[in-house]
Structure 1
Amino acid sequence: MAAAQAQIQSSPRRPTQVFEDRGQRLWRWLTFSPALAMMLALSVLPIANLFLTSFQNITWADGQQVRTWVGLTHYQALFSDSLFGAGISNTLIFAFGAVAGQMVLGFAMALLCTKIVRGRVLYRAIFILPILIPGIVIGAIWKLMLNFDFGLVNKALGLVGILPHDWLGSPETALFSVIVVDIWHWTPFCFLLFLAGLESLPQDVFEAARMDGAGAWQELIYVTLPLMIPTIVVTFAFRLVLAFKVFDEVYLLTSGGPGTSTEVISFTLYQRFFTEDKAGYGSAMSVTVIFLVSLLLVVALSARRRTGATS
């Protein structure tokens, strides 16, 4: 039997089969080319133009765009830009703080939802409600709730004898307040992914663990979490990339203030491009941010492959 299979594999292909294979490959390329062209037009070409602009200084004369090559000047200026440094540090604090809170709360909500027998659909609808609200409405809601004079948060704290606090106007609590708002907004995203992951886990493993006498805590630590590691890594990667792009919540709640306490990198880019009209310098800043986010994404996907290989 093995000799017959080896003879079949070693036998040369017929000419008609070669032409059929070439025709199939050509047909695949022809059907794939529109999607490839669209991807190049919508992603690769803009990024290439952004990279090219980062080495230029753009001015306007008589209504015409004038591009002047400046080399690495814009990249060198990044090291002395205090706003860029504050934006990077605040974005890192915001991203990891918000994503950590969303992951923990989302996983706990998903775990509890799997234990609910009655009213599961109702609980799911309530849990995902914040993600359905537009960003502008979320900014208005939380700006009213965190208001110093008549906000619901200070009113609730006043009931237990705590003095009111300017949550969005204080440098010590402004970034923390924005992180809380983002956790409230995006926890449903993590909840949905974790819920799908938990409901797809093999139940025979849990039944075997219960037969061995494992309690609820042991089942969570030694069975649920190891099986959920691939889903956790993917969710973390998605949310980390999205957290690095936060803009609307900062713009609506604090506008980067007070001072630079909530100056995130997206808001800094907005100022460079649209307020100061520094397209070349803003492009250099954008390329640097894209590189940092891509590096984090590569690390997360590498961790995903390692966990997938060991699980």
Structure 2
Amino acid sequence: MASRSLAIPAPDVAPRHATRSAKSGHDRHGDDRTWRWVTFGPALALMLALSVLPLANLLVTSFYDVTWAQGQAVWSPVGLAHYLALPGDELFRAGLRNTLIFAIGAVGGQMVIGFALALLCSRVAHGRVVYRTIFILPILIPGIVVGAIWKLMLNYDFGLINQAIGLIGLDPRDWLGANETALASVIVVDIWHWTPFCFLLFLAGIESLPQDVYEAARVDGAKAWQELVYITLPMMWPAILVTFAFRLVLAFKVFDEVYLLTSGGPGTATEVVSFTLYQRFFTEDRVGYGAAMSVAVIFIVSLLLVLALTTRRRSEASA
């Protein structure tokens, strides 16, 4: 009788190992997620406590009229009355108009001058550190010192600016006391103070551009202005939009320079929304109305920021 061999199947261990590996991988993923939440949770809670809660409190306060009686705050609900009163507030309208003019003039000047300085500094072969140090000096000076320096320079009687224009036969000007020149003078001071910020961002962006593109363009006979228009500006466009967004937000927050140089005058020539908020909150003690004005300003700034970021994303998508 012929012996018949039986084929004994090998144990199926591969699925068991695969299941164990998948389970261990899932456990590691869960442990990593838990560890991230444990380490990131306190920072997130602190951020919410310092940003979201004050904003929520500001929003709630804007619907009340807060007065004081016998040392106690009296909260009287007014609904949307504060928001409805904003369009008729002459100081708010003047502040918003001047802030828009200030933002356009100051941010535009800072970006143009900062980009030009960054472009020139990137092409300097020797003494680059010295030039960078000189260009960033204004941003290192505190705002109160900047206000003192420029208030002395723009003084009508003994200011350096009037003495300089007197040497060429021009009459002195009351730069900070005339309606025609007060806002322009504040814009010039802000350009001088914050152009180094744009310079640093643009210089970092220019130095990070790929040099092989420029070398190929030079081989093809491209001139300097062609490299600027067709290579540098298109590749720098995202950095330009980010810088514009940063400076636009900071321009809407301008206060110290206006307060130190003109205090919003003469009249409402240099009234900006930050200074109007300061008057409503701390001078007139209109807490509810000032809160409503703050919410309106935050909404406007957020809208402008969203428009700038949307433009950046569309430019990156089309590139």
AA aligned opposite 2:90: S
Equivalent in 262, 267, 272 of residue 264 of structure 1: 272
CA distance in 2, matches of 1:21, 1:155: 71
CA distance in 2, matches of 1:14, 1:197: 44
Corresponding residue number in structure 2 for 1:103:
111
AA aligned opposite 1:178: V
Q: Which moved more, 1:59-68 or 1:71-80?
A: 59-68
The share of aligned pairs that are identical, in percent, is 72
**In the TM superposition, what is the alpha-carbon distance from 1:15 to its structure 2 partner?**
3.8
Equivalent in 162, 169, 178 of residue 170 of structure 1: 178
CA distance in 2, matches of 1:221, 1:258: 42
CA distance in 2, matches of 1:141, 1:191: 22
Corresponding residue number in structure 1 for 2:223:
215
Corresponding residue number in structure 1 for 2:53:
45
Corresponding residue number in structure 2 for 1:4:
none
1:250 paired to 2:265 = no
Equivalent in 37, 41, 65 of residue 33 of structure 1: 41
Matches within 5 A, 1:35-184: 35-184=43-192
**In the TM superposition, what is the alpha-carbon distance from 1:14 to its structure 2 partner?**
3.8
1:237 paired to 2:237 = no
Whose radius of gyration is greater, 1 or 2? Answer: 2
**In the TM superposition, what is the alpha-carbon distance from 1:310 to its structure 2 partner?**
2.6
CA distance in 1, matches of 2:202, 2:223: 21
Equivalent in 189, 196, 199 of residue 191 of structure 1: 199
**In the TM superposition, what is the alpha-carbon distance from 1:65 to its structure 2 partner?**
1.3
Q: Deviations over 1:107-126 (max 9, x none)?
A: 00001101111111001000
CA distance in 1, matches of 2:185, 2:312: 31
**In the TM superposition, what is the alpha-carbon distance from 1:228 to its structure 2 partner?**
0.5
Q: Deviations over 1:252-293 (max 9, x none)?
A: 000000000000000000000000000100000000000000
**In the TM superposition, what is the alpha-carbon distance from 1:31 to its structure 2 partner?**
1.4
| SS in structure 2 of the partner of residue 121 of structure 1 | helix
CA distance in 2, matches of 1:133, 1:16: 56
Matches within 5 A, 1:10-29: 14-29=22-37
> Structure 1, unaligned stretches of length 5 or more?
1-7
**In the TM superposition, what is the alpha-carbon distance from 1:63 to its structure 2 partner?**
1.2
CA distance in 2, matches of 1:52, 1:127: 45
AA aligned opposite 1:52: V
1:296 paired to 2:292 = no
**In the TM superposition, what is the alpha-carbon distance from 1:131 to its structure 2 partner?**
0.3
| SS in structure 2 of the partner of residue 128 of structure 1 | helix
| SS in structure 1 of the partner of residue 263 of structure 2 | coil
CA distance in 2, matches of 1:21, 1:197: 37
Corresponding residue number in structure 1 for 2:235:
227
CA distance in 2, matches of 1:21, 1:151: 67
| SS in structure 2 of the partner of residue 169 of structure 1 | coil
CA distance in 2, matches of 1:14, 1:111: 54
**In the TM superposition, what is the alpha-carbon distance from 1:21 to its structure 2 partner?**
2.6
CA distance in 1, matches of 2:47, 2:302: 18
CA distance in 2, matches of 1:164, 1:284: 42
**In the TM superposition, what is the alpha-carbon distance from 1:23 to its structure 2 partner?**
2.5
| SS in structure 1 of the partner of residue 175 of structure 2 | coil
Q: Deviations over 1:28-55 (max 9, x none)?
A: 2111111110111110000000000000
Equivalent in 271, 287, 305 of residue 279 of structure 1: 287
Q: Which moved more, 1:23-32 or 1:173-182?
A: 23-32
**RMSD of the TM alignment (CA)?**
1.3
AA aligned opposite 1:78: L
Q: Deviations over 1:166-211 (max 9, x none)?
A: 0000001100000000000000000000000000000000001101
